[in-house]
Structure 1
Amino acid sequence: MFKKILIANRGEIACRVIKTARKMGIKTVAVYSDADRNALHVEMADEAVHIGPPPANQSYIVIEKIMEAIRATGAEAVHPGYGFLSENAKFAEALAAEGVAFIGPPSGAIEAMGDKITSKKIAKEAGVSTVPGYMGIIEDAEEAVRISREIGYPVMLKASAGGGGKGMRIAWNDEEAREGFQSSKNEAASSFGDDRIFIEKFVTQPRHIEIQVLCDGHGNGVYLGERECSIQRRNQKVVEEAPSPFLDEATRRAMGEQAVALAKAVGYASAGTVEFIVDGDRNFYFLEMNTRLQVEHPVTELITGVDLVEQMIRVANGEKLALAQEDVALTGWAIENRLYAEDPYRNFLPSIGRLTRYRPPEEIAAGPLAENDRWHGDAPRGEAAVRNDTGVYEGGEISMYYDPMIAKLCTWAPTREAAIEQMRVALDSFEVEGIGHNLPFLSAVMDHPKFIAGEMTTAFIAEEFPEGFEGVELPDAELRRIAAAAAAMHRVVEIRRARVSGRMDNHERKVGRDWVVTLQGQDYATVVDADRAGATVRFADGTAHRVASDWTPGCQLGVFDVDGEELVLKVGPISSGFRIRSRGADLDVHVRTPRAAELAALMPEKVEPDTSKMLLCPMPGLIVNVDVEVGDEVQEGQRLCTVEAMKMENVLRAERKAVVSAINVAAGDSLAVDEIIMEFE
């Protein structure tokens, strides 16, 4: 077995690989850019080597810099993680020339399957059903338009070497095909060093379901079930689960056998994923093969008990697979939610900054992975599992240079319903402050009727949140539970205030019982009767809730028992109450005396400043280009400028007809959120 491996990646996947290597007794080497000098993967590894400036094309994807780090440390093998150099055949060849093992497939398989154009040709020749499209090299935007017309709109423009949603655009007409072609080329060149683009028919109402395969260098191969990845935003997966709530056993077997046959046809050896589009009648069509470890691999590990990173290392070491297809069993259900550094209230735009608070929920070991002693943490055992794969820490910074995903929160339980409930509690327990993040949105998805029913397609987010995410309106029953908890909390705060002031001898007796709790535009008159075990909160209509908790003032996470059911709240202080976040809702909860509540209702609302004649930067980013000049009359929908953030280009357009009166930026400028880009008359 290898004694030392280098991880040619960063963030959570580097940390993930280090955990398995440590379990196997293998030393690890991390590489890092200037931006990652204090990163968690650097701290976790046994050694670390600096490889250059923050931009990936000057550090993480420069093959020679990785090779220098290998030579300097004597690493015997390299795990590429995902992204960066993970599907770069030249990198695999460079390692082979140096006598260093690549913990991934042979370079020939990478070339054949990692390149989306080539892989589709091979799949078609092998009799695999593929989506209609043009597999050749497209020279310019006009050729892209011509091909798109022949295929028929809508079409998908995709980077040949792409992945992770980078270099992908949907075009519904000629103009979008021209624009999407150039943006896709730019993103592909920046992210992968390869600007080739291909076009295929965009299938409406599809499900995105992928098969995990595992092959060795001795001709053996198995499939480890499927993953449902249909909940996507901008072609980037957000929620994944295994197995799929849609597939039946016959379809699963057919997809799995086809995936393994395709892998064997190209001499594949390692973990890989074959992706399919599946329609409503369970017809499936080959999309692509990812010749690497997938971001969402933990859900497969949780239902099978197979450590995929360990298997990749063993295959790279020349070992045969220790399991046959009949050994693979799918047990229970696993769900993964991707925590992104992005603001869901601002159309999911990237957010950067310092993590002033980062407290994931406690990890719990359960299920096949725990039973097979392949758990990656020192977690207590339970009936359901919680796993958090992360690469950040409290006090660390989220950089603008890399992908905005900062953690993968996973749960496992014997049933899908139980796994979803475990995820709800885990999301409510996850504390993140200092940056924008998508935890509220993830909570909203977990409570959405279509997700609960398993009735989702890749259009789920676009269809269910057409105006973007504007928060969650909680039902009255949940508001009452939160109101009861807030009233009980307020009583504890008042007792503390009385005790600290020293004004009262019997603090609890002197604290009032009557309070009006205001949240989500509703007032709830309550009476709080407390005893040593908790409090009974009675409402004006005669209903009551029994509340028990050990919450104390200043604690930012409250766990309550409300009528025998758990309620987890993130709690922060505001004037006359609390900021409470729960199940995707962000609530200002005011607790006042009846007279104070009466007067508060008469207070005027604060008017927001008028920014209607300004174009504000929606995210921290870099101005790529400005497409208008002072004095130009712009029309609704006209392109104004492009902002790049976290490897993605974002085109900003005019909301209505106007005349540009001032431009405050130029290409190359770095901007913060809400900086004024231009002004209008």
Structure 2
Amino acid sequence: MFSKILIANRGEIACRVIKTAKAMGIKTVAVYSDADRDALHVEMADEAVHIGEPTAAKSYLVIDKIIDACKQTGAEAVHPGYGFLSERAEFCERLKQEGIVFIGPNPKAIEVMGDKITSKRFAAEANVSTVPGYMGLIETPQDAKRIAAEVGYPVMIKASAGGGGKGMRIAWNDEEAMDGFDRAKSEAINSFGDDRIFIEKFIENPRHIEIQVMGDKHGNAVYLGERECSIQRRNQKVIEEAPSPLLDEKTRRKMGEQAVALAKAVDYDSAGTVEFVAGQDKSFFFLEMNTRLQVEHPVTELVTGVDLVEQMIRVAAGEALSIKQEDVKLNGWSIESRIYAEDPYRNFLPSIGRLTHYRPPVEGKHGNYLVRNDTGVVEGSEISMFYDPMIAKLVTHAATRAEAIEGMSTALDEFQVDGIQHNVPFLASLMKHPRWRSGEISTGFIADEYPDGFEPATPDAEANSVLASVALSMHLIERERLDHLPGRLRPHHGAVRREWAVRIDGETLKAELVEGLAATPVDLDICVDGGANERVASSWAPGEMLWKGQVGERNVSVQVRAVDNGYQLDWQGFSVVAQVMSPRIAELAALMPEKVAPDTSNLLLCPMPGLVVSLHVNEGQEVKAGEQLAIVEAMKMENVLRAERDCVVSAIKAAPGDSLAVDAVIMEFE
């Protein structure tokens, strides 16, 4: 067994590998760029080596720097994580030449299966069912248009070396095929250094299901069940689960055996994933093979009890697999939510900055479910524009899918993040979505259910009652605390008021304190809008950002932020502002005029912090609705900004190469 390994990666996956290595008694070496000097994975490792500038192309993707770091520290093996160099056969070969072990598959497997074009040809020759398409190289947008028409719309335009949703576009017509080709090619060269593109038929209303395989250097291979990864946005996975609610045992076995056959055909000797696109009728087609550890591997680990990172290390050291196929049992259900630094209220645009507050839910057993949080950040960490915007992977495990969903819903309510925008409200809302809970999903779920983007749901009467009770309890505690501060000129407000009004986003609810005294821990009986008396109990104290307690029979966890004269409350996808006041003040407040947002309709604003890649118009130019105005790159993704209506460009305020903040003016219109 190795005595020291280097992790050629960053963020949560680097931390994940370090945890298992330490448990195995193996010393670890981290590498870091200028942007990651104070990162968590650097702190966790036994040693750390600086490898260059913030951009991945000048640090994490430079093979010579990784090898030099191994030589400096005496690392005997390298775990690549996912992304970066994890699927580069050249990296594997270079390590071999230097006498360093690659903790991953052999170069042949990486070369054949890691390339999407070659892997599809190989799979077809091996009689694996594949999606119809064109696997040859495509040189120009005109070629893409012609080939797409021959394959038949809709088509998926994909980078051969792509992954993580980058270098992928769906096209429904000739114009989208040409534009999608340009965008996919540009993203591919920037992210992977490889701009080869292929086109395949896009299966409508499909599901994305993948099989986890594990092989060794002695010819053994097994499959460890499947993962359903159909909840995607812009071809990037958002929610994953194991097992899939679609599959029965017969289909699972058929897919698993096909995946193992494919793995054995290339002498696969590590952890890998065979991805399939599946129809709602349980038909399935080979999509690609990822010759690395997947982001969503924790759900498989929790339902099988197998530590995939440990198995990768043992196999790389030459050990035979200790797992036989008959040993693999699926136990319960696991769900993973990807916590991203992105603004769900601005079409999920990336958000960067410092985590001024970061409190994930406590890991471990919580009643009938378990919580696991894989992360690469701590409070004070900075989310950079140079890398993927993932903050953490929140995972729950329970005996049933319904219990795992309920556990995830509660865990998301308890996940505290501040300083940047994040997608926790969207994930919390999704957990309550009836279609998600039914398991009747597809890769188009988010586009179908949120066609205009995500907006917080309007609370129903029950939710309003819960939120009003929480707000009133906090107000009473804060009032009681102020009453007893020493040195006050007015030492006491007098008798505790029993009748209150709680305004929630403009709607006023009557609230009555029926019984109890405000103190921490609080224990009150509250009646909202003439409903039943509800016991409200919590140990919340002023200044805390999570109210956790009981409202009636419900266990409730509400995110709390102080705003002008009230609280912003986030709970189960609802996001409201609640103000507690006397009934008379509520009457007067209802007469106040509403603030009107400034008109920015004549401006093109930068929707996220990013780099201006190109401008497509000039001052004085007339443009039509839908025309490209500019392209802004953020976190390795190119975002095309288009005209929302016919207009004339009056002024351009930015230039290609400029780094812009969110809402910076790019151009003005007449």
TM-score bracket, normalised by the shorter chain, equals over 0.9
Which of 377, 384, 402 is the matching residue for 2:369?
384
Deviation at 1:575, TM superposition (A): 3.0
CA deviations 1:124-173 (Å, max 9, x no partner) are 11111110001111112111111111001111110101110010011111
Instruction: Specify the code of the residue in structure 1 equivalent to 2:249.
Output: E
Deviation at 1:509, TM superposition (A): 6.5
Tell me the equivalent position of 2:45: 45
Deviates more, 1:557-566 or 1:396-405: 557-566
| Secondary structure of 1:644's aligned partner | strand
Tell me the equivalent position of 1:72: 72
| Secondary structure of 1:293's aligned partner | coil
Instruction: Specify the code of the residue in structure 2 equivalent to 1:575.
Output: D
Deviation at 1:174, TM superposition (A): 1.2
> Are 2:644 and 1:659 equivalent residues in the alignment?
no
State the alpha-carbon separation in 2 of the partners of residues 586 and 97 from structure 1.
56
Conservation of the 8 A alpha-carbon contact between 2:15 and 2:41: yes
State the alpha-carbon separation in 2 of the partners of residues 395 and 221 from structure 1.
43
Instruction: Specify the code of the residue in structure 2 equivalent to 1:677.
Output: I
Change (3 A) 1:14 1:87: same
Conservation of the 8 A alpha-carbon contact between 2:368 and 2:403: no
Conservation of the 8 A alpha-carbon contact between 1:215 and 1:270: yes
Conservation of the 8 A alpha-carbon contact between 1:488 and 1:528: no
State the alpha-carbon separation in 1 of the partners of residues 69 and 606 from structure 2.
38
Conservation of the 8 A alpha-carbon contact between 1:635 and 1:656: yes
Q: How does 1:82-101 map to 2 (within 5 A)?
A: 82-101=82-101
Tell me the equivalent position of 2:566: 577
> Are 2:399 and 1:414 equivalent residues in the alignment?
yes
Tell me the equivalent position of 2:257: 257
Gaps of 5+ in 2: none
Q: Report percent identity of matched pairs.
A: 64
Conservation of the 8 A alpha-carbon contact between 1:481 and 1:545: no
Tell me the equivalent position of 1:103: 103
Q: Between Structure 1 and Structure 2, how many residues are aligned? A: 666
> Are 2:161 and 1:161 equivalent residues in the alignment?
yes
Conservation of the 8 A alpha-carbon contact between 1:364 and 1:382: no
Change (3 A) 1:200 1:542: closer
Deviation at 1:505, TM superposition (A): 10
Conservation of the 8 A alpha-carbon contact between 2:510 and 2:530: no
> Are 2:413 and 1:428 equivalent residues in the alignment?
yes
State the alpha-carbon separation in 2 of the partners of residues 330 and 78 from structure 1.
30
Instruction: Specify the code of the residue in structure 1 equivalent to 2:36.
Output: D
Conservation of the 8 A alpha-carbon contact between 1:613 and 1:680: yes
Q: How does 1:438-517 map to 2 (within 5 A)?
A: 438-500=423-485, 510-517=495-502
> Are 2:538 and 1:549 equivalent residues in the alignment?
yes
State the alpha-carbon separation in 2 of the partners of residues 665 and 120 from structure 1.
43
Change (3 A) 1:295 1:389: same
Deviation at 1:382, TM superposition (A): 5.4
The two structures, once aligned, show a CA RMSD in angstroms of: 1.4
Which of 589, 595, 612 is the matching residue for 1:600?
589
Instruction: Specify the code of the residue in structure 1 equivalent to 2:74.
Output: G
> Are 2:120 and 1:120 equivalent residues in the alignment?
yes
State the alpha-carbon separation in 2 of the partners of residues 33 and 44 from structure 1.
16
State the alpha-carbon separation in 2 of the partners of residues 627 and 224 from structure 1.
49
Conservation of the 8 A alpha-carbon contact between 1:223 and 1:325: yes
Tell me the equivalent position of 2:235: 235
TM superposition score normalised by structure 2: 0.98
Tell me the equivalent position of 1:369: none
Change (3 A) 1:33 1:394: same
State the alpha-carbon separation in 2 of the partners of residues 166 and 414 from structure 1.
35
> Are 2:626 and 1:641 equivalent residues in the alignment?
no
State the alpha-carbon separation in 2 of the partners of residues 287 and 358 from structure 1.
37
Instruction: Specify the code of the residue in structure 2 equivalent to 1:612.
Output: S
Conservation of the 8 A alpha-carbon contact between 2:475 and 2:580: yes
Which of 636, 639, 660 is the matching residue for 1:671?
660
Tell me the equivalent position of 2:380: 395
Deviation at 1:459, TM superposition (A): 0.2
Deviates more, 1:563-572 or 1:333-342: 563-572
Deviation at 1:551, TM superposition (A): 1.0
Q: How does 1:302-381 map to 2 (within 5 A)?
A: 302-365=302-365
Deviation at 1:556, TM superposition (A): 1.1
CA deviations 1:579-600 (Å, max 9, x no partner) are 1111112110011100000000
Deviation at 1:357, TM superposition (A): 0.6
Deviation at 1:511, TM superposition (A): 2.2
| Secondary structure of 2:391's aligned partner | strand
| Secondary structure of 1:306's aligned partner | coil
CA deviations 1:353-398 (Å, max 9, x no partner) are 1111111110015xxxxxxxxxxxxxxx854210110001111110
| Secondary structure of 1:419's aligned partner | helix
Gaps of 5+ in 1: 366-380
State the alpha-carbon separation in 1 of the partners of residues 118 and 52 from structure 2.
33
TM superposition score normalised by structure 1: 0.96
Deviation at 1:530, TM superposition (A): 3.6
State the alpha-carbon separation in 2 of the partners of residues 403 and 72 from structure 1.
28
State the alpha-carbon separation in 1 of the partners of residues 279 and 482 from structure 2.
61
State the alpha-carbon separation in 2 of the partners of residues 92 and 137 from structure 1.
25
Conservation of the 8 A alpha-carbon contact between 1:357 and 1:432: yes
| Secondary structure of 1:408's aligned partner | strand
| Secondary structure of 2:364's aligned partner | coil
| Secondary structure of 1:162's aligned partner | strand
Conservation of the 8 A alpha-carbon contact between 1:576 and 1:592: no
State the alpha-carbon separation in 1 of the partners of residues 624 and 330 from structure 2.
55
Conservation of the 8 A alpha-carbon contact between 1:15 and 1:391: yes
| Secondary structure of 2:484's aligned partner | helix
Instruction: Specify the code of the residue in structure 1 equivalent to 2:539.
Output: D
Deviation at 1:503, TM superposition (A): 5.9
Deviation at 1:543, TM superposition (A): 2.1
> Are 2:84 and 1:58 equivalent residues in the alignment?
no
Conservation of the 8 A alpha-carbon contact between 2:35 and 2:53: yes
Conservation of the 8 A alpha-carbon contact between 2:155 and 2:171: yes
Conservation of the 8 A alpha-carbon contact between 1:518 and 1:524: yes
| Secondary structure of 1:105's aligned partner | coil
Tell me the equivalent position of 2:174: 174
Instruction: Specify the code of the residue in structure 1 equivalent to 2:80.
Output: P
CA deviations 1:76-133 (Å, max 9, x no partner) are 0000000000000000000111111110000000001000001101111111111000
Conservation of the 8 A alpha-carbon contact between 1:86 and 1:292: yes
Deviation at 1:504, TM superposition (A): 9.7
| Secondary structure of 1:510's aligned partner | coil
Deviates more, 1:308-317 or 1:175-184: 175-184
Conservation of the 8 A alpha-carbon contact between 1:227 and 1:240: yes
Deviation at 1:675, TM superposition (A): 0.3
